[in-house]
């Protein structure tokens, strides 16, 4: 899979203990709108997806995470690679946090079931939505003007690449 870009905050001890948290995310369009998880609490959106669990491959993790966060069921035969983002920075508790986020285009079935959000996702008041791609970009740009968050930087840059408004 091709590297889309790298975020290296250079704020970590290069000799520090490394914590790796790979993730996998779905890029889903329906009727010209993109599926996002919107945080009503913080006013940002992210593409559906999350951490890859032990024993899972990237695609299985993406399919599971999309179902949990959106209630949508991915059609496995439609999954195709888009690219990945490599992020390295000082973690909240870890000396070095490394995350490779893998992105896949995919289609979903027409039905939508209940979500299965984690306590943190409930705390952030996450709701699944389909919105115009430009709207998702605008929301994250406004968030980025208020405060810096590496996850929002990553998602904003990926959304811009999808829209053809950013370089890889």
Radius of gyration of the chain measured on its C-alpha atoms = 15
What DSSP state is assigned to residue 163?
A: T
Residues 6+ apart with CB under 8 A from 23: 49, 50, 51, 52, 61, 65, 99, 100, 101, 102
At 165 the pLDDT is 84
pLDDT digits (tens, 9 = 90+) for 64-90: 999 999 999 999 999 999 999 999 999
Q: What residues does each domain of the chain span?
A: 3-162
Task: Domain 3-162: give its CATH code.
Answer: 3.90.79.10
Q: Check residue 88 and give left, alpha or beta (phi > 0: left; psi -120 to 50: alpha).
A: beta
pTM of the model: 0.94
At 167 the pLDDT is 58
pLDDT digits (tens, 9 = 90+) for 10-40: 999 999 999 999 999 999 999 999 999 999 9
**Contact present, 44 and 71 (Cβ < 8 Å):** no
pLDDT digits (tens, 9 = 90+) for 93-143: 899 999 999 999 999 999 999 999 999 999 999 999 999 999 999 999 999
**Contact present, 113 and 71 (Cβ < 8 Å):** yes
């Amino acid at each position: 899979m091709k590297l889309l870009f790298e975020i290296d905050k250079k704020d970590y001890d290069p000799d520090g203990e490394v914590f790796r948290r790979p993730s996998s995310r779905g890029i889903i369009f329906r009727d010209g709108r993109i599926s996002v998880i919107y945080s009503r609490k913080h006013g940002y959106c992210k593409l559906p997806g999350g951490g890859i669990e032990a024993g899972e491959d990237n695609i299985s993790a993406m399919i599971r995470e999309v179902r949990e966060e959106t209630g949508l069921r991915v059609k496995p035969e439609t999954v195709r690679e888009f690219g990945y983002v490599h992020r390295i920075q000082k973690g909240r508790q870890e000396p070095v946090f490394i995350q490779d986020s893998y992105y896949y285009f995919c289609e979903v079935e027409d039905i939508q079931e209940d979500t299965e959000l984690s306590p943190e996702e409930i705390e952030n008041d996450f709701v699944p939505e389909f919105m115009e791609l430009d709207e998702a970009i605008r929301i994250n740009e406004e968030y980025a003007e208020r405060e810096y968050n590496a996850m929002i930087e990553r998602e904003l840059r990926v959304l811009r690449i999808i829209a053809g408004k950013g370089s890889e």
